[in-house]
Structure 1
Amino acid sequence: MHIFSEEHLTLHPAKIISALINRISLICENTLSTLRIQSNKVTHGNNLKVTGLIYISNQGTIKIGNNVTINSSLLANPISSNRCSFATTSSGSILISDNVGLSGVTLYSAEKIEIGENSYIGAGVKILDTDFHSLSHSERFLQNDNNIQSKEIIISKNCFIGTEAIILKGVKIGSNAVIAAGSVVVTNVPENEIWGGVPARYLKKNTL
């Protein structure tokens, strides 16, 4: 494994030391992520690429397909201020299909989150299939806040979800759809369309 490339040799010694520290930190984080994947019983296919440290809490099921790339570090994606976080309740499941890329993404499932093949999920995106708490203020203050609504989220193949977007429960996003950065998606998005805004609305057809 090469720690330095040729351009590093022309750097100031302080920058070389900084690069070395960053590289060693990244190696340690990648090792910890591998251990977390194994200890949390996450199943994955071939050629999984992880950069950085992932938070994983898997009480349900997490499955990752082939050729998936997970960037969970500023060194891997400079616009991602968050690490990746994958969490399921005992009734939840996360399915990440083949050739998916994720950067600093939060996935929390109490029902089901499915990401289709060849989809890119941008830096800081949150995909949450549950309300976490009851909408009733009186029920939230009870000891057992049990009236919590959850509904599966399906992101179809070839989708692109822009940075800092939020996808909420019950949403289905059709194939080849694009969600603009910073959008909050609360309703279904048809295939081959570009949506954006808060709440997200139709902008135009995706003809590319």
Structure 2
Amino acid sequence: MDYLNTKLLKILYKILKQSFLSIDILLSWSLTFIKFKLNGVHFSNDFISRGIPLVNVNLKGCFSIGKGFVINNGINYNMIGRQQQCFFIVGPNAVLNIANNVGLSGVAIICYKKIEIEDNVKIGGNTVIYDSDFHSLNPEERNSQPENLSNVIVKSVKIKKGAFIGAHCTILKGVTVGENSIVGAGSVVSRSIPNGEIWAGNPAKFIKNI
């Protein structure tokens, strides 16, 4: 009898879990759709959003997404630790372009000039991509009130097709990650990576060819 009760409980648990996930994914998709629309994002309706991202696009900014976009937001959808929702911040006159078949997990993309992510790119949990220093390198400008941001350095970032960026990486301004290249987990990328290479470390350095 105990065996039957345990088996029934397991079956019931699986049914409820699957039902909850189906409802949650549908709700996540709907709310993400609304966020994209309210922020003027150009996107394909075939995207998959598990959880809800943060989206903030300036009225003069541009954010476009291709087909087959998949994002995981929060600890329930990619349990690798220190997990957050995806962040998409696009400043005035900035351009964020995400192409086809791109997958992101808890990734923060802060765009003040131009960030391009090409086809078939995968980016691991808690990675951040910045095209700006955010603050001036001049201490007087940095410590002024209000802060003087007129000389903040911004440089475009490009992640080429087929690249794979591991979890907890930082991609800094002016960087290009080459076609089919791999960035090891926890790396800080401050200079461009050629096509077909593996880089890792802080700062990221060449490891080997693929």
Please indicate the TM-score interval, normalised by the length of the shorter structure: 0.7 to 0.9
TM-score w.r.t. the length of structure 1 is 0.87
Contact residue 194 and residue 204 of structure 1 kept, 8 A: yes
Map of 1:109-124 to 2, 5 A cutoff?
A: 109-124=111-126
Match of 2:158 among 127, 148, 154: 154
Determine which structure has more spread, i.e. the larger CA radius of gyration.
Answer: 2
Aligned equivalent of 2:98: 96
Aligned equivalent of 1:135: 137
* Residue 52, structure 1, aligned to residue 51, structure 2: yes
Match of 1:196 among 181, 195, 200: 200
Contact residue 129 and residue 151 of structure 1 kept, 8 A: yes
Query: 70-79 vs 146-155, which deviates more?
Result: 70-79
Aligned equivalent of 2:3: none
Match of 1:171 among 166, 172, 175: 175
Contact residue 46 and residue 65 of structure 1 kept, 8 A: no
Residue deviations 1:119-143 (CA, integer Å, cap 9, x gap): 1011111000001110111111222
**1: CA distance, partners of 2:70 / 2:24:** 19
Cα offset, 1:173, TM superposition: 1.0
Give, as a single letter, the amino acid of the residue that structure 1 aligns with 2:57: N
CA RMSD across the alignment: 2.2
Aligned equivalent of 1:5: none
Residue deviations 1:67-119 (CA, integer Å, cap 9, x gap): 11111132221126110000111121111110111111100111111011011
Identical aligned pairs, as a percentage?
35
**1: CA distance, partners of 2:45 / 2:15:** 34
**1: CA distance, partners of 2:69 / 2:23:** 23
Aligned equivalent of 2:72: 71
Cα offset, 1:12, TM superposition: 8.7
| Secondary structure of the structure 2 residue equivalent to 1:47 | coil
Give, as a single letter, the amino acid of the residue that structure 1 aligns with 2:30: T
Cα offset, 1:47, TM superposition: 1.6
- In structure 2, stretches of 5+ residues that fail to align are 1-6
- In structure 1, stretches of 5+ residues that fail to align are 1-7
Cα offset, 1:11, TM superposition: 2.8
Cα offset, 1:23, TM superposition: 6.1
Residue deviations 1:32-66 (CA, integer Å, cap 9, x gap): 22211110011112521111111001111110001
| Secondary structure of the structure 2 residue equivalent to 1:37 | helix
Cα offset, 1:28, TM superposition: 3.6
**2: CA distance, partners of 1:15 / 1:46:** 29
Contact residue 113 and residue 152 of structure 1 kept, 8 A: yes
Give, as a single letter, the amino acid of the residue that structure 1 aligns with 2:108: T
Aligned equivalent of 1:42: 41
Give, as a single letter, the amino acid of the residue that structure 2 aligns with 1:84: C
Contact residue 166 and residue 186 of structure 2 kept, 8 A: yes
- Structure 1 pair 24–46 and aligned structure 2 pair: CA distance change class (3 A): closer
- Structure 1 pair 16–196 and aligned structure 2 pair: CA distance change class (3 A): same
Give, as a single letter, the amino acid of the residue that structure 1 aligns with 2:102: V
